Structure 1
Amino acid sequence: MSGPLVSVVTPSYEQAEFLEDNLRSVMEQTGPSVEHVVVDGGSTDGSVALLESYEDRYDLRWVSEPDDGQSDALNKGIEMATGRWLCWVNSDDYLLPGALDTFAEARRDNPDSDVIYGDFVFVDADGEEIGRKYNTRPSRFVHKHYYQFTGNHSTFFRRGVIEGVGGIDEDLQYTMDTELFWRLLEADLEMTHVPGFLGARRLHEAAKTTGEPPEARLAEIRALKSGYDHTVPERALPDKLLTVAAFALQGTYHTLDGRPEAIRHMLA
């Protein structure tokens, strides 16, 4: 089959400070063929000049024009993409070296998978590691009451999966990833977790999910939680107890998967 195996889709706006790390992280991947689709919202901070300087160095396609926010940009990028698999990596985040090789190996070992995902690290504005997120097998309970089961910067979706569950919700500007992952959990999909680190999520002052959350973000979180289906025991038990139970379940999964380092990280 012609065309790239993977399309990395990157929404971007006024992120020139971090965008080059993102571009290089895709350009320097080895293994399967990859294209990079960057959808810029009309930045005026030097992002366009940076994109122009990279467009002849690897398979990079980009547009820079006003849009209706990150979710709109993502759907636009997914429509532009030609790869058989998709990966969504925001412009201030990046792929880790070897991520595509790890994905390709997991794909060969799990040919029926619709979603393949790994773990990710948290980095600061300078790209220094400041934390780790060890993911586990998919779990609605853990997703609802503790932490979403994966992160977009370490997840690969078979072509058509995102469109098949309805695309990115353009009414959401903060919780679109968590809401998408919930719909994936609700769908009849084959998902494979790779016990390795594939992406980096950058925490910095300008990130919209860093610091004290604005009311718009809190409202999205409340709406998201109210939309989850809950069993009778879940409706009866207090939230704090459910969080403890979800934390324990994730720890159990790490134990079953033979990952003592993940247990130590959870308890640190």
Structure 2
Amino acid sequence: MKPTINFSPTISIVLPTHNGAQYLKQSIESCLKQTYPNIELVIVNDGSTDTTVEIINSFNDARIKYISLPTNKGIVAALNKGFSETTGEFLSWTSDDNCYTVNAFEVMLKTLENEENIDFVYANYHMIDVNGKVLKSGHVENPQGLDRDNYVGGCFLYRRKVYEIIGDFNAEAFLVEDYEYWLRVRAQFCMKKLDDFLYYYRMHGSSLTTAHGLEKIQDQVERIRAAYISPWKQDFLIGKRFFYKKDFSKSRTFLLKSLTMYPFYYQTWRLLIKGILRK
């Protein structure tokens, strides 16, 4: 028998926005037009000076909870304020320039309801331009991929107990606040990737990623990785990176260093032997 979805749980979506009026309406609509209707949308206006207020006020929907911060506090503060006001049994957040597919939360919730051992699910996405044209598709990876980078993406849903135990986002992880949070989640909860494409991630010149530059973001990723990933795994990942750059000498150096700390990881030995054979 095909499982039926229980329409009683509330899904709370936090949407922080700062001067994001250009795409905000589309983002709000994608949350409210879900095939799963029991949505609580918590919009946090982070000191916007554009037409954000007018756009939010144009929606006459009781599912919207509006919070206004008098000055710009930053995305981490906006997220933490938003989540503190949620009431749903399941939680998520999105950006003011991105959109969900119409069935995104129905699909993700169905997995969480059918698999009680899973606490956090996340899905693939499409990258779009300013006009909504699909540029390419992005595939998320299994939770182990977080050792290398933020492979969770922007489309996810998790149980409230995750938030209650993990707590707030970290202000010191600006630009990679989500990555740092996912690493904390992975350490205590069961995460699962879905093969569905349920999200549209917009590429444009005003996005945080573009504005701050990939190099700065990567520096933050490296700092966060060093704080949460064991030293032997870090050396393995560096050795692996040099291996695929065909710098086998540097690769061996880091792989051997990794083995001195943890000699039981098969992949380290495999890469080391392959590198020796190719020198």
TM-score strictly above 0.5: yes
Distance 1:233 1:81 in 2: 37
Partner of 1:223: 223
Q: Is the 8 A contact 1:122 1:203 kept in 2?
A: yes
Q: Is the 8 A contact 1:19 1:47 kept in 2?
A: yes
Q: Is the 8 A contact 2:7 2:36 kept in 1?
A: no
- Select the structure that is richer in helix: 2
Structure 2: runs of 5+ lacking an equivalent = 1-5, 246-279
Which residue identity lines up with residue 148 of structure 1 in the other structure? N
SS in 2 for 1:210: helix
Distance 1:241 1:214, change over 3 A: closer
**Which has more radius of gyration?**
2
SS in 1 for 2:186: helix
Partner of 1:210: 210
Structure 1: runs of 5+ lacking an equivalent = 245-268
Residue 129, structure 1, aligned to residue 156, structure 2? no
Distance 1:106 1:242, change over 3 A: farther
Name the structure, 1 or 2, with higher relative contact order (CA <8 Å, separation 6+): 1
Partner of 2:113: 108
Distance 1:197 1:58, change over 3 A: farther
Q: Deviations over 1:206-228 (max 9, x none)?
A: 11212662876455234213213
Q: Is the 8 A contact 2:122 2:157 kept in 1?
A: yes
CA displacement at 1:134 relative to structure 2: 1.4
Partner of 2:146: 143
Residue 64, structure 1, aligned to residue 68, structure 2? yes
Q: Is the 8 A contact 1:113 1:192 kept in 2?
A: yes
Q: Is the 8 A contact 1:32 1:104 kept in 2?
A: no
Structure 1 segment 1-268 matched on structure 2, within 5 A: 5-54=10-59, 56-65=60-69, 66-139=71-144, 142-145=145-148, 147-151=149-153, 153-187=154-188, 189-210=189-210, 213=213, 217=217, 219-230=219-230, 232=232, 234-235=234-235, 238=239, 240-241=241-242
Distance 1:171 1:186, change over 3 A: same
Distance 1:101 1:233 in 2: 36
SS in 2 for 1:97: coil
SS in 2 for 1:167: coil
Identity of aligned residues (%): 23
CA displacement at 1:234 relative to structure 2: 4.5
SS in 1 for 2:35: coil
CA displacement at 1:109 relative to structure 2: 2.0
Distance 1:85 1:212, change over 3 A: closer
Output the aligned Cα RMSD.
Answer: 2.5
Distance 1:209 1:95 in 2: 19
Q: Deviations over 1:180-234 (max 9, x none)?
A: 11111222x1223221012121111011212662876455234213213235364
